[in-house]
Structures are given as structure tokens and as C-alpha cells.
Chains A and B, each alone.
Chain A
């Protein structure tokens, strides 16, 4: 496998519980094809972040296995390249926005790419803020910096956990247009956790819907909308039909707590 070649991800009978008897994931069977974008949606607290952390090798499964390119995460990821943007941006406060992005390259032992760093900072809408400390940025700006940091290493596997949570609606739409272009050009395997059905359908090739805890897969919707998807796609009847399917699956998976998600 050449560095950065997008790997496939396979979860087999994957279960995860925490001390104290919290069962978060129950026997998840999921195969994520290489080079595609997959969205995870599900009620808050159902275990999406936990699943992402298991795929990243940051948690151990209670039973079952995660395989990336046919091997355990830890073995493969260094070669394939992994990047994560957590829900909480966790930028290093002693480094500027640019410094944070550059450090990711350095830690991944890549050559410095000042051009690429500047381009990414501009792409996430932070031009002019390269020298700013994270503490001087708004929550949404920090999340965007974290996205730039995740993308700069050109990872084979990109895990984004609600990366637009604190980003304002307008910027979010712009990012939804710009970012996929970047990872699709390199055929990155991307997994995106999101609360927004709209975002999930718009950005991905496939939407996996989880039930409330313990999370099981309640629907697996293939998004066969052609790319690129301009902003007008949202009015496309097929887009609406797919969104309705995801929405219905979510409601089913949540039982009678469906209005909880509508508020998200």
C-alpha cells in the first residue's frame, strides 16, 4: 500500500461497553469501501464518536474487531495515513493556527508544504488568521482550523466528528461545497459524523443510520446523486426522497424520541 492510498474499513461484530456497564455498540457489522465518503447519523449519545474512536485505534473493542486495509488499525494507519478532527477541536494553545496545521505535517514526518498550508487555511475561510492564537478565535473558527489540520497530511483515512457543529450556517454551506472536492480528488476514505440529515446526504456516497444506545445499524442508504453537487441539489426531488428515507430511519431508530433529534 503506497502512503496515503485510501484503505477500506471493516467492522465485524464490533461491540463496545464501558466500565459501569454502559453498552454503547452492539455487534456492528459494517464495511466501508475505500475512497468513498460515508456519513454516520444517529441520535445524540448513541455511540457515533465511540465508533470513530474505535476505527482510529484510540479505544479497544470489547469484542469483535476493526480492520483497516485488512489489518488492525494501529498497524495500518501509520502507512495509510489517518487524520481525525474530533468534536472538540483541541488546537494547541501555544501554537498559532498556522503552527497547529504545520505541526500535523511535522508529526506525520512529512516535508513542510507552506503553500499547501496556506491554501488549506484559505479554503476553510481563515485567511488572515494564520498568525492568530486559538484562544482569539470563535468556536466555529477553531473547528475550521482543526479541519485544515486534519486535511493537511493528505490522509488515506479521514475521520470527521461533527466538524461543523459550531460553524455558522453560511460558512458551513461553503465548506460543504469545498471540502469534499478536496478529499474526493484524492479518493480519500472519509467518514463524517453529523447531526444534519441535509449535510449527510449532500456530502456522502452513503449514509449509515444508527439507533439510540446501544447503537445498531437501522438503515444503510446509498446516495446515488451525481457529483459535483451544486447548492441547487437540495431542491432535487431525488435529494429530498433520500433525505426522507434517512429521516424516517432515524425516527424508527429513536423510537418515540424523534422530536429530540429534530431540535438538534
Chain B
């Protein structure tokens, strides 16, 4: 149980003490983590193994499909293609470092994060307003429903017309990728709040505003976080496309440059980076989710 309130701690303290009772529990936890890590390695090893094998027997052309031992061989050489400012616009720089790579990853992560935060907050506002104010609902809901199925890719020209080149269009596209779906999810979540919660509040005389603030808002948060998390990958896909066409920096731009220069090693190196970053991003999100939604049991948080 991932509980952080003092009450549960007090209850745990009240439980009968078994000497060293804590240890087998902790040991089991690290044991589980080790086993899980083992399967991760095995799973990745499977891919790497096949790939290396295909190279060794000559099926995989090392120019087009260089296996990991080739594209991970000369890291400093790979690093030179990474420029956080995007100033070199695809040209090879003088001497990149780990920091320039982290800078590029950082810019992309920043665009995703800002887009997600904006999308989450605004969709929450709009969703709640649609249900709270009848007129807003009637005016906005048809619009949201019509715009929701439009792919973020179709919004790329709009993003560029509106914001030109730079961070803004990329952030806008991430925002678009989640805003409509999150707004609709907010509505579903509001409609699914157990009616007993609302009726109990109403019987003691709570106002509509109080009910929204103290009952509906906390009740819908867990569901919204699950939806947001399911849409994380969409946000990552969109930001890479946006960077490739409209920003001129970031992981998407490096990938596009690598493609244009037939640098297969760089393509796979960047893909590795994207995979790793996305994975860590999802993990970090999971931590925040558990922190904010302390009352939701681990099995109900969704995903890992």
C-alpha cells in the first residue's frame, strides 16, 4: 500500500511487533525489483541478440541497419550532431558532449511537459465549465466533439501559421494532441462521480460551487490522470514530428537530419535516446501520479 498519511502509519505502529518483521517484507520487495529488472534485460537482450546475429551472418547491412555495437561504438562522434540551440541546423558541430545531448533531450522534454501541463489544466477548466455553466456547455461541446477527431498532424500547418517557427508551435501541437481528448474525458469523469457523494453533500446544504470544489474535482482526478498517461505517447510522437518540420531543434530535428544525410547510426542512436527518455518520462509521471493521488491504491493507478 502506497500510503503516506499519518493515520496509516499510526495503524501500522499499532500492529503487533514481530522481531525483524520488517526485513522479509523489504527483502521481498528488492527481490521482486531484481526479478523485474532481469526480465527487462532479457527482453531487450532478445532484440539486441537477433540484431547482432543478423549482422554477424550478413543479413543486416551495417550501413542501413547498424546493430547496437556499431551505433553505440563511437559516442563522442554521435554527440557532435547534437546542438541544443539547433543553430547548426543539421550540420555536424565542432565537438558535442554529453551535455549537448542532454540539452537536446531537455528541450524536447520541456516542450512535451509544457504542452501537457497546458493541455491538462485547460481541458480541466473547459470540461468543468461545460458541465457547470449550461450555456458554455451548449456552445462549446459541439465544437470540441467536431475538433477532437482531427489528427494533430493536420494541425501542423495551423501551428506554423499561428506561431511561426520555434517552441510555440511544438508546444501547441502537444497541447492539441491531448486537449480535446482530455476535455471529453473530463466530461465522462464528471458524469461518473458516484451520485451518493453529490447527494450527501446536497443534503447538508452544499452549494453547487462547493460540490464542484470539494466533491467532483477530487473525484475526477484519478481518472483524468489515467487518461493523461495513456496519451503521453501520443504527445511524444507529436512533439518529434513538430520538431522535425517546424522547430529546428530537439530530438525530432536530429532524427530528420539523420534521415536526410542517410546516417543510419545516428537514426538508431536517436531512437534509443527517444525510447529511454519516453520511458523515464512515464516513470516520473507515475511517481507524481502516486504522490498526488495518495488515496488511490496502487492497483487502481493504472499502468505502472
How far apart are A124's CB and chain B's nearest CB, in angstroms?
16
The 0/1 profile, CB within 8 Å of B marked 1, for residues 84-118 of chain A is 10101010111111000001101111000000000
State the total of A-B contacts with C-beta under 8 angstroms.
Answer: 84
Interface centre among B6, B205, B219, B297 (most CB of A within 10 A): B205
Q: Is the CB of A128 within 8 A of B14?
A: yes
Q: Is the CB of A96 within 8 A of B5?
A: yes
Q: Is the CB of A129 within 8 A of B295?
A: no
Chain B minimum-CB-distance residue to A152: B204
Rounded to whole angstroms, the CA-CA distance of A109 and B7 in the bound complex is: 26
By a CB distance below 8 angstroms, the chain B residues around A86 are 196, 200
Q: Does B95 contact A (CB under 8 A)?
A: no
Q: Is the CB of A133 within 8 A of B205?
A: no
Rounded to whole angstroms, the CA-CA distance of A196 and B222 in the bound complex is: 39
Q: Is the CB of B199 within 8 A of A78?
A: no
Q: Is the CB of A78 within 8 A of B205?
A: yes
Q: Is the CB of B297 within 8 A of A135?
A: yes
Known: A133-B3, A136-B3. A94 touches B199 (CB 8 A): no
How far apart are A72's CB and chain B's nearest CB, in angstroms?
14
By a CB distance below 8 angstroms, the chain A residues around B45 are none
Interface residues of B in 32-87 (CB under 8 A from A): none
By a CB distance below 8 angstroms, the chain B residues around A108 are 204-206
Chain B minimum-CB-distance residue to A88: B196
Please tell me which one of the listed residues A84, A129, A155 contacts residue B7 in the complex, with CB atoms under 8 A apart.
Answer: A129
Q: Is the CB of B7 within 8 A of A131?
A: yes
Q: Does A143 contact B (CB under 8 A)?
A: no
By a CB distance below 8 angstroms, the chain B residues around A84 are 199-200, 203
Mark the stretch among B108-116, B130-138, B210-218, B282-290 that contacts chain A: B210-218
Q: Is the CB of A82 within 8 A of B204?
A: yes
Known: A58-B199, A92-B215, A94-B295. A83 touches B5 (CB 8 A): no
Q: Does B31 contact A (CB under 8 A)?
A: no
Interface size for A (C-beta < 8 A) is 34
Q: Is the CB of B8 within 8 A of A132?
A: yes
Rounded to whole angstroms, the CA-CA distance of A131 and B7 in the bound complex is: 4
How far apart are A212's CB and chain B's nearest CB, in angstroms?
25
Chain B minimum-CB-distance residue to A53: B199
Rounded to whole angstroms, the CA-CA distance of A59 and B11 in the bound complex is: 40
Q: Is the CB of A132 within 8 A of B204?
A: no
How far apart are A48's CB and chain B's nearest CB, in angstroms?
17
Chain B minimum-CB-distance residue to A97: B7
How far apart are A114's CB and chain B's nearest CB, in angstroms?
16
How far apart are B249's CB and chain A's nearest CB, in angstroms?
41
By a CB distance below 8 angstroms, the chain A residues around B210 are 106-107
Q: Does A247 contact B (CB under 8 A)?
A: no
Q: Is the CB of B206 within 8 A of A107?
A: yes
Interface residues of B in 265-301 (CB under 8 A from A): 293-297
**5 residue pairs from A and B, CB less than 8 Å apart:** A92-B215, A107-B206, A131-B5, A132-B5, A133-B7
Given contacts A131-B5, A135-B297, could you give 10 more A-B pairs where the C-beta distance is less than 8 Å? A58-B203, A78-B205, A84-B199, A90-B197, A107-B205, A108-B206, A130-B7, A131-B6, A131-B10, A132-B7
Mark A residues whose CB is within 8 Å of B: 56-58, 77-78, 81-84, 86, 88, 90, 92-97, 103-104, 106-109, 128-133, 135-136, 153, 155
Closest 10 CB pairs of A and B: A131-B7, A107-B206, A90-B196, A132-B7, A94-B295, A108-B204, A78-B205, A94-B218, A84-B203, A131-B6
